[in-house]
């Protein structure tokens, strides 16, 4: 009898999840998740200190999004956490999330394999102002995992029909060591675009490394670009964002043309838990994309 009871509960739970999924597809409810199957898992880093994997997911229904937005991922029985989209926004039948192992939920995600399922809510948040950047040069600067939320914007801009809308593109990608770069399989494709310069830097010299060495804020002055006609798009550790945005500002770049994302502060995704509150701003609702001009109006706690 006990086995039959458990079987009935399992069937009831399955029917309930199916009902939730159908409801979610019919109505735009930010609290109701949809199912997503893990199609592939890519080990991005190979260092001993930075364990980062990409997950290719197939949602049960198409999931359109804009560069800069994020989703909430639930591992049933474990918990939920927010992650920014890391795939091209013109592809909606699958999505890619880049996840660093940092805690309980991410540890469980890192143990999952193709064929396993998670649940996702979203997309949430605002996005990068692509229309405002049209006609400008672009300077992408990313540190480590910070490249993940910039990747959708990069891929969108490098579509042939969009590349002609922007000027010169500089890319400065930083990592602690050569083993900590993510999306290395993209670098050749990105660099092959016209009027595009891609540079890599690591924190300290390594045998056989012939790229740059040093922190991004120390290197930008040596990279030629038009300060008066450029948008800077930054993402990485908070200390890097602050140092780099200060460097661009001191060079004369207007603060409303220095953009970043504050993903790390978010939790619930809908402005209810209050953990991402900064003054009167909720990062998950009002962001996560902000200009430095907007950040200057917030309390210094960000």
Residue pLDDT, tens place only, 48-63: 889 999 999 999 999 9
Q: Which residue has the tokens 């260092």?
A: 47
Q: At the topology level of CATH, where does 31-123 sit?
A: Elongation Factor Tu (Ef-tu); domain 3 (2.40.30)
Q: For residue 296, what is the DSSP state? A: T
The two three-digit tokens of residue 176, written as one number: 């602690």
The two three-digit tokens of residue 152, written as one number: 């959708």
**Domain 130-261, CATH class in plain words:** alpha beta
| pLDDT tens-digit series, residues 131-164 | 999 999 999 999 999 999 999 999 999 999 999 9
The two three-digit tokens of residue 193, written as one number: 């675009």
Q: Are 252 and 278 in contact (CB under 8 A)?
A: no
pLDDT score recorded for residue 151: 98
Average pLDDT of the residues of the chain: 90
**For 28-116, where are the E strands, in sequence order?**
34-43, 52-59, 70-75, 79-84, 95-100
Locate CATH 2.40.30.10 in the chain. Answer: 31-123
| pLDDT tens-digit series, residues 196-221 | 999 999 999 999 999 999 999 999 99
pLDDT score recorded for residue 7: 53
Sign of CA dihedral 63, 95, 65, 134: negative
The two three-digit tokens of residue 21, written as one number: 């999924």
Using CA atoms, how far apart are residues 168 and 6, in angstroms rounded to an integer?
A: 62
Its pTM surpasses 0.95: no
Residue 111 clears pLDDT 90, i.e. is over it: yes
pLDDT score recorded for residue 48: 86
């Amino acid at each position: 009898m006990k086995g039959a009871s458990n079987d009935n509960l399992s069937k009831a739970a399955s029917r309930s999840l199916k009902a939730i999924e159908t409801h979610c597809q019919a109505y735009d409810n930010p609290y109701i998740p949809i199912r997503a199957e893990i199609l592939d898992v890519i080990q991005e880093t190979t260092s001993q200190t930075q364990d980062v994997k990409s997950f290719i997911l197939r949602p049960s229904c198409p999931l359109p999004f804009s560069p800069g937005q994020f989703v909430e991922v639930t591992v049933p029985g474990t918990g939920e956490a927010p992650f920014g989209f890391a795939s091209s926004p013109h592809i909606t039948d699958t999505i890619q999330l880049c996840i660093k192992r940092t805690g309980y939920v991410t540890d469980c995600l890192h143990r999952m394999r193709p064929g396993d399922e998670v649940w996702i809510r979203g997309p949430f948040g605002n996005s990068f102002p692509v229309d405002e950047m049209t006609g400008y040069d672009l300077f992408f600067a990313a540190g480590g995992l910070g490249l993940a939320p910039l990747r959708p914007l990069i891929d969108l801009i490098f579509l042939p029909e969009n590349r002609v809308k922007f000027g010169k593109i500089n890319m400065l990608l930083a990592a602690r060591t050569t083993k900590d770069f993510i999306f290395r399989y993209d670098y050749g494709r990105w660099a092959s675009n016209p009027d595009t310069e891609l540079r890599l830097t690591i924190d300290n010299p390594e045998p056989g490394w012939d790229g740059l060495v040093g922190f991004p804020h120390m290197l930008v002055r040596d990279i030629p670009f038009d300060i008066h006609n450029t948008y800077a798009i930054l993402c990485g550790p908070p200390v890097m964002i602050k140092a780099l945005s200060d460097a661009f500002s001191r060079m004369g770049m207007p603060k409303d043309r220095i953009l970043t994302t504050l993903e790390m502060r978010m939790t619930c995704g809908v402005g209810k838990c209050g953990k991402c509150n900064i003054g009167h701003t909720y990062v998950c609702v009002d962001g996560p994309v902000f200009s430095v001009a907007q950040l200057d109006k917030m309390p210094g706690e960000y």
